[in-house]
Amino acid sequence: MTTTTGLITPQKWQADHLLMLDQRILPLREEWIELRTHEEVAKAIKDMVVRGAPAIGISAAYGMALAAKNGADLQQASKTLAASRPTAVNLFWALDRINSLQNRDFQRILAEAQAIEREDLEMNRAIGRHGAELVPQNASILTVCNTGGLATAGHGTALGVIRTAHEQGKDIHVYTCETRPRMQGLRLTAYELTKDGIPFHSIADGAAASLMRAGKVDLVIAGADRIAVNGDAANKIGTYSLAVLALHHKIPFYIAAPSSTLDPTLPTGDQIPIEERSAEELTEVDGVRVAPDGCPVYNPAFDVTPGELITGIITEKGVNAKPYNFALASKSIPQPALPG
Ligand code: MRU
């Protein structure tokens, strides 16, 4: 039996402005925020109203459309948007795609932003089809962060693979890591899995090892924010630990991402800029301080999983096996314009 899952999207273009689902307050409240300037879009990306690598790229493209509509300086607007978050290459990829247009009037930029969004959804569905072939019947799948419709144009990458396997009628079960400190797994992935009726349990991040040892995980699938030529993949902090654990327990570990997440300019993951976020993400829970005053904090938002620990990298073109070499992607992926 096949099932159809609903399309969850993080943003919608509405005639002359952008609507964003406020992911900071999901799943408790579903509120859409109106954005009318590129500065508002840049702030929304920084504050994580919208998050997830492909979704950030799509938002930035719509931000450029708003800049053109408002008659703002497009070079400056692109710099402002590029300075919002440093790790996900999709942001710079989307901005470069807009900046390379010959005609950069509002209608043309809007059409390009809509194309980026449409193509992302198509890529996600293709990733889902390729990835679902790796998911056995009755599989128990561990995932981390949120890589679903909320992080993309819809359907998702790693969660898209899970969704497609479920749509194909495979009897699967998901373990979703809570993903401290921002809880994208517990809040957002659990929200999407609940909506789609996919069986799952949320787990504390620290529970992954014992679940693997108990034979309760058949495969791990995670997303990515930037993948270097050699397959080193930046993703939400904690992903690297899952890959090490998977290797120890002889469990396949897959990364699923569209080609807009490949960075052919970086030979290895050592050069990927890792965002550090505020201390309050750790020292406070729901705005209430839980750490001692003056507690020093180190809060990197991402880590890099070495390509050699990744069993396969699933893109819209198929499943890539080790040793990875994404150098040829440079033909289709423009050089990212790093912030600054
Ligand atoms: O800090 P976030 O929530 O933007 O981090 C998101 C992730 O790490 C995702 O796994 C990644 O962007 C892929 S989303 C399809």
Domains defined for the chain, CATH in brackets: 11-122 (1.20.120.420), 127-320 (3.40.50.10470)
The Cα 339–Cα 5 span in angstroms is 37
pLDDT at 328: 74
pLDDT at 5: 76
The three-state (H, E, C) secondary structure of 86-144, written as one string: CCCHHHHHHHHHHHCCCCCCHHHHHHHHHHHHHHHHHHHHHHHHHHHCCCCCCCEEEEC
The answer to whether 234 and 302 are in contact (CB under 8 A) is yes
- What's the gap in Å between 332 CA and the centre of ligand 1? 23
Among candidate residues 234, 247, 248, the one with its CA nearest the CA of residue 304:
234
* Strands 233-236 and 302-305, sheet pairing: antiparallel
- Cα 131-134-139 angle, rounded to 5 deg: 110
pLDDT at 335: 39
Q: Which of 84, 188, 235, 277 to mutate to test the pocket of ligand 1 (most atoms within 8 A of CB)?
A: 235
Stated pTM of the model: 0.95
- What's the gap in Å between 214 CA and the centre of ligand 1? 28
pLDDT at 334: 46
Indicate which atom in ligand 1 lies nearest the CA of residue 275. 1
- Active-site residues: which are they? 225
Q: How far is CA 333 from the centre of its chain?
A: 18
pLDDT tens string 178-214: 999 999 999 999 999 999 999 999 999 999 999 999 9
pLDDT at 3: 74
- What's the gap in Å between 74 CA and the centre of ligand 1? 27
- What's the gap in Å between 102 CA and the centre of ligand 1? 31
Distance from first CA to last CA of the chain, Å, rounded? 52
pLDDT at 259: 96
Q: Please state, as a whole number, how many other Cβ atoms lie within 10 Å of the Cβ of residue 262.
A: 30
pLDDT at 325: 95
Q: Which of 184, 259, 314 to mutate to test the pocket of ligand 1 (most atoms within 8 A of CB)?
A: 184
In order of 194, 219, 232, the CA distances from 30 in angstroms are 15, 32, 35
Q: Which residues in the chain show pLDDT less than 70?
A: 1-2, 329-340
